Amino acid sequence: MRLIGVETTSLRERVFALLQVCSEKKDLGASRDAYALIIKGGFDSIKVVGDHLIRLFALVSSLEDALYIFSQIHEPSLYTWNSIISASVQNGNPQQALSIYYSMSTPPDKITISSVLRASIAAQDIEAGKNAHNQVVVQGISLDFVFGSTLVDFYSKLGTLDEAWTVFNALMYRDVVTWGAMLSGFLQHGQPEKCLMYLEFMRQEGIQPNKVIFILILQAVNNGRVPVHGMAIHAELCTVGLEKDLAIESALIEMYSKHGFLEEAEIVFKSADSLDLVLWTTFIGTYVHCQKHQLAFKVYEEMLVKGLFPDKVTFLFLLQACGNEGNVLRGLEIHEKVTLSGLDKDLSIENTLTCMYAKCGYLDQACRIFDQILFRDEISWAAIIAGHVDFGHYHRAIELYIIMHMEGFCPTTSVLASILNACAHLAIVDEGRLIHDLITKLNFPNELYVENSLLFMYARCNKLLDAQYIFVKMSTKDIVTYTSLISAFADNGWVHDVLNLLNLMQVEGVDPDEGIFICSLVACANARAFQEVMQMYMDCGMLQDAQAVFNLIAGPDVVLWSVLISGYNKHGKVSVAVDLVEEMLTKVEPDQIAYLSLLQVCCGVGFIKQARLLHSQIVESGLNYMPSVHSTILDMYTKCGSMEDAHRLFIRAKEKDLVSWGCMLAGYAMMGDMRLVNECLENMERDGLKLTRTRFTSILHACSHAGALTDAWHHFQCMGDGFDLVPSMDHYDGILDLLSRVGHVKHACDLLQTAPVPSNFGETSLFASYRTYGDEESSLSLITPYIS
């Protein structure tokens, strides 16, 4: 028996060694040969062999073989069930995984439920996942952070964020993966602001973001907060040393480009240590997104010089650029390279080629490519129909729509919008109503461009009541919406309705463009109405329309110039304002007010070029010696973060008053440079200048930013002792926050007791400090009197 046992053990080891070799090679043929040998040797009777075979065939992407082996196991163990469910998920058949789960004869464990949750995500089956979660509760399976993260991920990805938060909140311990699942859910389902907010909560728990979290946050910043939050995240990435990671660099480029920050995107790209194809492609996409097509082509040529050949995504960007620019010659060149790469039969490439040729006006070539597509999809039809509509081939577009319908394709919102535009231009309202009925029948979501197409169709067909009905029902309106209706009203002489819509645009924050302006002027035939429209544009800050009115006036004076410049400054159009000043210099004499408004707008990071240009113009005008102008220039440089320019200007000043010193102090405080802040304070004291409450706020902010508790406490006490100033709650909040963050909870509580009024911010700081530094009993005894 002993010899037989040794021999059997040796043979089993050989079987498992054979399976291991097959796993490493990932060879389906070899795996099937191994299985045949196992059957021939009778080793399939060993229970664990079947489990290993299931995993092997899952690894070599043969779910069919894995399912067959599973069917031959008469009494599958829990490990066997887990293996086949995982194999089904791994090989892209989540429905099969769920079906097997429902047929289990053994209670599931965490591994089973985790696989079922992944299957539910892939199958978009919320009920299956909830069923699995209920099984966890029934069986009393413990909810550790790994398993909890999987549950949070499931609920987040399927859009049930309340349930995700409930599970998340119930976890005793959360790691960066758990937080990532929650943040990803917020981002994926249109709540980027929550994603950013919960990042701060994560930090308060002492968990620092990793690469994945940073990428999520950069995507969340695309909600329009690049100047404030995105640049701060970029700075933090530089601090933690992740700014050179390729995935991070790609995310930074996308973030900056989405908001038109091309210079920043270029800096990230050009400073990359190594440029792979993904980074090159991302940068090409940046220029395409910003409509800088020639620059996109230039980057593409540089990429070729570096020896990199485009992939599918690169080609898609380049073809899109050719279509947008109408550059058919470049499009032909890219098409040739696509063919050489063997990607010309890829459906997304074929669709983009169709769209490119159509946009370039080469409809015959677009049709040839369309006809050669073997497996057309809805996007293919949308591209060819839109191409015909864009170039006025309305009848043919409708014919193509009918053929599409006959071939069994369900029209997309894009196709229906194109057909509505065709009906509008042909003034065939009955056919347009049929499309309207179809949109209602298919229960499409209310997409703005479809609603705009409906409104445009009724307006062009002179069915103004129908158009007004669509307008009233629209939850969101843009410039296209108003243009369609105002144009129809103007054509019919409905002046009162035109003005009402213009007023409504003001209320809803939609700025009119030149087309609406022209329609309004047509409707407002008398001079009185013309003046009302012009004044409304100026009062509402509708600068483009005010500019259009301005251009109609012969010899505008300095007042009108100043109104325009102030308007552009107010809305941050610095480059436009600077261009206006340059033009103004050649026609009228600018005044001090115009320059002051421009200087104030330039007070921000990113405007240093414009700031220096304005400064040089003011020097030429001789206005730089005016005290108010000089101090405004100084304040501008400090707020731009250019302390070198500010220092140079400050040193040259003959007299340095409290305002000048205050600007320099605020600038150094904003930089968090305590050495320069203290040096500045000593110089002010030497000159006999006393600090204001506002300047003390800047000082305490700088101390807090630098973690300089000793300096902060000294300056806080100096307010009353040396300057006879009573600290405000802003000052208390600053010192309380610093004390709490460095763990001086007792001192913070003592100070809070002396505050003139209760401080919500101070109490919050104390509570956060309690969670980070204090033990429960003693910290609660300190904090309770202030938060009760």
Reported as a single tens digit per residue, the pLDDT across 141-187 is: 777 767 888 888 888 888 788 888 888 888 888 888 888 888 888 88
Residue 339 pLDDT level (bands cut at 50, 70, 90): very high
Highest mean pLDDT among 325-339, 433-447, 742-756: 325-339
Q: Which two tokens stand for residue 395?
A: 């009848």
Spatial separation of the C-alpha atoms in residues 369 and 445, rounded to whole Å: 31
pLDDT number for residue 617: 78
Q: Which of 195, 203, 240 shows the shortest CA–CA distance to 219?
A: 195
What would the mean pLDDT of 564-586 be, rounded to a whole number? 70
Specify burial of residue 502 (Cβ count, 10 A radius: 0-12, 13-18, 19+): buried
pLDDT attached to residue 585: 60
Asked if residue 121 has pLDDT above 80, the reply is: yes
Span of 416-430, 499-513, 610-624, 749-763 with lowest mean pLDDT? 749-763
Which has the minimum average pLDDT: 11-15, 84-88, 602-606, 658-662?
Answer: 602-606
Provide φ and ψ at 440, rounded to 5°.
-65, -40
pLDDT of 3 above 50: no
- Cβ count within 10 A of residue 346: 16
Q: Picking from 228-232, 640-644, 762-766, which range would have the lowest pLDDT averaged per residue?
A: 762-766
Instruction: Choose from 126-135, 373-382, 777-786 the range with maximum mean pLDDT.
Output: 373-382
Query: 3-state DSSP call for residue 314?
Result: helix
Confidence at residue 400, expressed as pLDDT on a 0 to 100 scale = 95
Q: Positive or negative CA dihedral for 54, 58, 60, 62?
A: positive
Scanning the structure block, which residue is given the tokens 């005894």?
Answer: 781
What are the pLDDT digits (tens) for 422-451?
999 999 999 999 999 998 888 776 788 899
Secondary structure (DSSP) of 578-610: HHHHHHHHTTS---HHHHHHHHHHT-STT-HHH
Query: Which of these ranges, 78-92, 110-124, 140-154, 593-607, has the smallest mean pLDDT?
Result: 593-607
- What pLDDT, on the 0 to 100 scale, is given for residue 311? 93
What pLDDT, on the 0 to 100 scale, is given for residue 530? 42
319 has pLDDT over 90: yes
> What pLDDT score was predicted for residue 95?
92
Query: What is the mean pLDDT of the segment spanning 116-143?
Result: 85
Residue in 564, 429, 420, 433 with CA at minimum distance from that of residue 480? 420
The amino acid sitting at 751 is L
Helix H or strand E segment including 616: helix 608-621
Cα separation, 191 vs 193, in Å, equals: 6
Q: What is the pLDDT of residue 167?
A: 84
For the stretch 382-422, pLDDT in tens is 999 999 999 889 999 999 999 998 988 888 889 999 999 99
Q: Which helix (H) or strand (E) holds 716?
A: helix 709-721
Q: Which two tokens stand for residue 63?
A: 């779910």
Burial class for 137, CB neighbours closer than 10 Å (0-12, 13-18, 19+): exposed
CB count, 10 Å around CB of 298?
13
712-727 average pLDDT score: 69
Compute how many other C-beta atoms are within 10 angstroms of the C-beta atom of residue 500.
Answer: 13
Euclidean distance between CA atoms 264 and 281, whole angstroms:
17
DSSP-assigned states of every residue in 222-280: GGT-IIIIIHHHHHHHHHHT-TT-HHHHHHHHHHHHHTT-HHHHHHHHHT-SS--HHHH
pLDDT, greater one: 453 or 730: 453
Query: Using one digit for the tens of pLDDT, what is the confidence trace for 750-783?
Result: 666 666 655 544 455 554 555 455 545 545 554 4
CA nearest to 774, candidates 736, 750, 740: 740
Q: What is the mean pLDDT of the chain?
A: 80
| Cα distances (Å, whole numbers) of residue 253 to 67, 282, 289, 562, 674 | 45, 7, 11, 37, 33
* 8 A C-beta contact, residue 481 and residue 455: yes
Q: Is the pLDDT of residue 463 over 80?
A: yes
Q: Which residues contact 157 (CB under 8 A, 6 or more apart)?
A: 121, 184, 185, 188
Instruction: Place 315 in a pLDDT band, splitting at 50, 70 and 90.
Output: very high
Share of the chain above pLDDT 90, in %: 20
Residue 554's pLDDT band, with cuts at 50, 70 and 90, is very low
Does 766 or 241 have the greater pLDDT score?
241
Q: Number of H helices and number of E strands within the chain? A: 47, 0
Instruction: Give the pLDDT score at 4.
Output: 35
Cα(362)–Cα(172) distance, rounded to whole angstroms? 63
Please tell me the pTM assigned to this model.
0.53
Question: Across residues 671-688, what is the average pLDDT?
Answer: 78
pLDDT score at 578:
63
φ/ψ of 451, rounded to 5, equals -60, -40
**CA 325 to CA 292: how far, in whole Å?**
9
Query: CB of 267 within 8 A of CB of 252?
Result: no
30-42 confidence digits (pLDDT tens): 778 777 877 777 7
Whole-number percent of the chain with pLDDT over 70: 79
Q: Residue 587 corresponds to which amino acid?
A: K
Say which residues have a Cβ less than 8 Å from residue 479's Cβ, sequence separation at least 6: 510, 511, 512, 513, 516
- Mean pLDDT for 318-334 is 94
Q: Are 173 and 202 in contact (CB under 8 A)?
A: no
As a whole number of angstroms, the distance between CA 476 and CA 488 comes to 20
The closest alpha carbon to 118, from 154, 93, 83, 92, belongs to 154
Q: What is the mean pLDDT of residues 330-357?
A: 94
Q: Greater confidence, 179 or 190?
A: 179
Q: Which residue blocks in 640-673 are alpha helix, DSSP H?
A: 643-652, 658-671
